Structure 1
Amino acid sequence: MSTTVTDQGQPTPSTAPDRPELQQVIQEIVDSGLTGVALRVQDERGVWVGAAGVAELGGTAQPPTDGHVRIGSNTKTFVATLVLRLVAEGRFGLDDAVAGLLPGFGLDERITVRMLLQHTSGIFNFTGEYYDDGTFVPGIPATTAGKEWVDNRFKTYRPEELARLALAKPARFEPGTGWSYANTNYVLARLLVEQVTGRPPAEELQRLVLGPLGMTNTVAPTTGTEVPEPHPRAYYRYEDGGQERTVDVTRHNPSWISSGGDMISTAQDLHTFISGLLSGKLLPAPLLAEMCTPRPTPIPDMGYGLGVFVQDIGQGRTIISHNGGAAGHAALMYSTPDGGKTLTATLNYVDDAALSLAVPFQKATQRLVDVVFRGGRPGMAGGDGHA
């Protein structure tokens, strides 16, 4: 159904034409293996909100279009924005050495705040590191660990513990000489915020990001296990004694991923955030420009700024994004560089240790980008998205 949005941000029925191509593409995402999708698109034609699939296995109700999900690595954009707000306050500089600001961890003195936010520090990823030769070195029991993650999903991990585990491993490369996506960078950013401000990062996030934008449906739970209502269910499939089991993991303690991906939000709030950020409501223009200046990555046509991906979609056009998924919930967040056109979505699915939905998820997100930002048609091939 096509909708508009009132001043209070609540969807209301619209007389604008339906957009069947959007409904078709989210149905294709469900057909590719995901359980449910709720999509929100805001552009020159207004706001379109729709859903496909189901909110829970065995059910018939669609996912709520205002549903809360764990947003995974979209958290990184929030954390990067928080750090840049503190830079704007003069608490530290982007090119300051982290070791001087966050003592006691034995950090390489060449690592700067910028390197944490841009994934150029070279620090080991505490959720496990994939190397170019195909080898995988595990870290903590993350969602790649099967039954071990399920058995530990209510355990509390302290951010300091995650950081120290990673720093005890060999670095991937010398600081500033490469790019490697690592959750550890953002746990260190969280610890930096706490060290410099003397306040819990969730409180600083409320003060500097959520509060100024009037966001009321976004949560940094730290160790809290609940997802606010309404929400779709999240699932995880694993092997136990030779038997395949699927369990509901909507409730779990997200401290295993910490500020690498622990936040909860809605498609509406993600729009409010990315649109507000890119239209200049949170950061001074020079810092926003720094955030959106990409460094090359191994992903085709995709660079990484400070907490955001910068994607070249052809015809001289660029979009700013971050996606995230973990443990059966996921979220998409895309925008034009001025914040004027956005695509945000919440997804629910059955996760597993093999990350078997990763390719369908990437192809699905690329189809959405094609339709919304390139004017493509549903059913077009794609697949260079990044979760």
Structure 2
Amino acid sequence: MTSTANAASTPRFFRRLGTTALAVALLAVPGTATAAEQERPELQAAMQAVVDAGFSGMQLRVHDERGEWVGSAGVRKLGSTAKPPTNGRFWAGSSTKTFTATVVLQLVAEGKVGLDAPAADYLPQFGLDRRITVRMLLQHTSGLFNYTGEYYPDGTFVPGIPATGKEWVDNRFHTYRPEELVRLALSKPARFAPGTDFNYTNTNYTLAGLLIENVTGRSYAEEMQRRILRPLGLRGTVVPGARSTLPGPHSHGYYRYQDSGEWKTVDVTHQNLSLLFAAGDMISTTEDLRTFFSALQGGKLLPAPLLAEMRKPDPKIGYGLGVFVQDLGPGCGTVLHHNGGPPGGYGALMYSSPDGRKTLTASVTTGDHPMNPAEVFPKALEKFIKVAYCGEPG
């Protein structure tokens, strides 16, 4: 398998990682066997299974009827024995999309945006197909090309801005303007007519972020602070823009790729995610993701009718407006989730029950293990989900 094929699957994989929701936790001290870990050994064991599958580290926060539980497994940094911090910051990747969708729906609630109005009405600078509505952007049914490249059913790949392999590694500090990303996408043929199919693409959410700026007259970062981060007290969450530094405390993330036939591993803890403006660029913590997703599902950020719209899944993939909706079956119930992973190093998990009372948030980091996360993690996650969400023993 080439490095491009191995790496290319990572962002798409982390977006759709799991299959459930419960959550929150008793604080665990890195490097020690805490009372929290002793009380929920099945969660600690499930985390260790993820690390044993090849990931370098994991931090987990669960909130359910038994209270809060927080723990970590693996290492904070390759070559170290210190465990990942349980309050560590990480690149949240596509979990960002739920934040973006929430702000757009708040604008809908205020009468400033029409959910089924042409997106072109709010984004006149791009000459968008007027059949594309705001809803289609949020539900990935616009048909627009993904500016980070597209995989087609016949196995062909049409490249966009490099987000995998050596090309991404060499350019991971490059600053992109969101308009540049959108115009690249619009220079490629649409995948299908608007509203006729589903295709997960970062282009939709970069457009949604620009829509927020056009409608409010403020930057995406300012509007996120004003509407979500400040009201909820999310002090560990950052909209970094072109800044590449990951604030501490944090675990290190690594990226394995091929260069002239030789496998290499590079520390990608610091990276510039202007590549994923409003679609995957946020920094957060398990506590902040838990607070946000619980508040959202608990009806604190959107009026009930719009929260219901958000939860109406596309029948093809189970995606609503910025969230996946999944029925886990008897004994497990329905969960809402949106996971994420930037081009390299990190993955985020964000799950909630429909009432916001049961949540699970986590971050995983990749190391130098010779594995494809898209192949390895689902097997470890299946056990983890059954333990954490369906109450099965470890």
Q: Same fold (TM over 0.5)?
A: yes
Q: Secondary structure at the match of 1:270?
A: helix
Higher relative contact order (CA 8 A, sep 6+): 2
RMSD between aligned alpha carbons? Answer: 1.9
CA drift of 1:15 comes to 7.8
Matched, 1:277 2:277: no
Match of 1:314 in 2: 329
Of 226-235 and 250-259, deviating more is: 250-259
Q: Is the 8 A contact 2:36 2:69 kept in 1?
A: no
CA drift of 1:58 comes to 1.0
Q: Which runs of 5+ in 2 are unaligned?
A: 1-23, 28-33
Match of 1:324 in 2: 340
Q: Is the 8 A contact 1:79 1:259 kept in 2?
A: yes
Q: Is the 8 A contact 2:311 2:323 kept in 1?
A: yes
Cα distance in 2, alignment partners of residues 351 and 188 from structure 1: 35
Q: Is the 8 A contact 2:78 2:367 kept in 1?
A: no
Match of 1:381 in 2: none
Of 83-92 and 187-196, deviating more is: 83-92
Matched, 1:347 2:364: yes
Match of 2:154 in 1: 133
C-alpha deviations, 1:39-63, integer Å up to 9, x for none? 1100010011111100111110111
Cα distance in 2, alignment partners of residues 247 and 147 from structure 1: 10
CA drift of 1:3 comes to 5.4
Match of 1:333 in 2: 350
C-alpha deviations, 1:281-338, integer Å up to 9, x for none? 110011111111111234xxxx101000001100272100010112101110011000
Match of 1:163 in 2: 182
C-alpha deviations, 1:153-197, integer Å up to 9, x for none? 111110001001011111111100101100100000011111111
Match of 1:32 in 2: 53
Write the mapping of 1:1-387 to structure 2, written as runs, cut at 5 A: 4=26, 18-143=39-164, 146-298=165-317, 303-315=318-330, 317-326=333-342, 327-350=344-367, 356-378=372-394
CA drift of 1:131 comes to 1.1
Q: Secondary structure at the match of 1:38?
A: strand
After the TM superposition, which segments of 4 or more aligned residues of structure 1 sit over 4 Å from their partners?
13-17
CA drift of 1:96 comes to 1.0
Cα distance in 2, alignment partners of residues 227 and 355 from structure 1: 25
CA drift of 1:14 comes to 6.0
Identity among equivalent pairs (%): 61
Counterpart amino acid of residue 308 in structure 1: V
Larger strand fraction of residues: 1
C-alpha deviations, 1:202-229, integer Å up to 9, x for none? 1000111112211111011111111110
CA drift of 1:16 comes to 9.9
Q: Is the 8 A contact 1:98 1:107 kept in 2?
A: yes
C-alpha deviations, 1:102-121, integer Å up to 9, x for none? 01212110001100000010
Normalised TM-score (structure 1):
0.90
Q: Is the 8 A contact 2:36 2:70 kept in 1?
A: no
Match of 2:18 in 1: none
Larger helix fraction of residues: 2
Q: Is the 8 A contact 2:37 2:71 kept in 1?
A: no
Give aligned pairs, total: 363
Cα distance in 2, alignment partners of residues 289 and 63 from structure 1: 37
Cα distance in 1, alignment partners of residues 35 and 57 from structure 2: 24
Cα distance in 1, alignment partners of residues 262 and 157 from structure 2: 25
Of 207-216 and 266-275, deviating more is: 207-216
